[in-house]
């Protein structure tokens, strides 16, 4: 099974993944800031990642990742979601993806290439979400530096 087949499988099953993510979030005592939102709203947030996974994993998507996740960080600050819960939410989104892949019986060697790309994507998403959060909270504005781009070779 090729990497693209696994990415397509995940995108095609974004609804199932979203349901699992909402359930995981509801059960997490670390995510109390999100508990006030309805399942549909929470699901839309997760679906953004799962349904567009192929796009997010492309190296050329860095500008989109910066824009989207800074916007998410700013919004979470406005919603008064604690920063630690913003980060935990992104980590939980990533963990739920692997939980789903494992539940579907995918062999680990088929998923290793995807795991590397997904970890890199979530590293970038977390960085830019935190940056957006800090900007909204009145912290210093930051811009991407060449060394950050080199930090994620291949995406």
* pLDDT at residue number 3: 76
* pLDDT at residue number 141: 64
How many separate helices (H) and strands (E) can be counted in the chain?
A: 8, 0
Give the model's confidence band at 153: pLDDT under 50 very low, under 70 low, under 90 confident, else very high.
very low
Q: What is the C-alpha separation between 13 and 11, in angstroms, rounded?
A: 5
Structure tokens at 19: 């349901």
Give the mean pLDDT of the chain: 86
pLDDT per residue as tens digits for the range 85-109: 999 999 999 999 988 888 887 776 6
Give the model's confidence band at 146: pLDDT under 50 very low, under 70 low, under 90 confident, else very high.
very low
Highest mean pLDDT among 27-41, 54-68, 102-116: 27-41
> Which of 13-22, 64-73, 139-148 is least confident?
139-148
Q: Which CATH number fits domain 3-151: 1.10.490.10, 2.40.30.10, 1.20.120.530, 3.40.50.10090?
A: 1.10.490.10
Contact assessment for residue 87 and residue 28, using Cβ atoms and an 8 Å cutoff? no
Looking at the predicted structure, is the pLDDT value of residue 126 above 80?
yes
Q: Report how far apart the first and last C-alpha atoms of the chain are (Å, whole number).
A: 21
Q: What is the C-alpha separation between 97 and 71, in angstroms, rounded?
A: 22
* pLDDT at residue number 53: 86
């Amino acid at each position: 099974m090729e990497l693209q087949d696994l990415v397509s499988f995940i995108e095609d099953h974004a609804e199932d993944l979203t349901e699992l993510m909402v359930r995981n979030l509801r059960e997490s005592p670390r995510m109390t800031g999100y508990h006030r939102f309805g399942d549909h709203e929470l699901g839309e947030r997760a679906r953004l990642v799962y349904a567009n996974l192929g796009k997010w994993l492309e190296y050329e998507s860095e500008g989109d990742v910066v824009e989207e996740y800074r916007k998410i960080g700013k919004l979470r600050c406005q919603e008064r979601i604690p920063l630690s819960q913003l980060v935990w939410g992104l980590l939980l989104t990533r963990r739920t993806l692997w939980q789903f892949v494992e539940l579907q019986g995918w062999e680990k060697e088929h998923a290793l290439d995807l795991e590397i790309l997904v970890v890199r994507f979530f590293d970038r998403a977390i960085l830019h979400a935190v940056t957006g959060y800090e900007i909204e909270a009145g912290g210093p504005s930051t811009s991407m530096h060449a060394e950050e781009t080199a930090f994620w070779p291949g995406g």
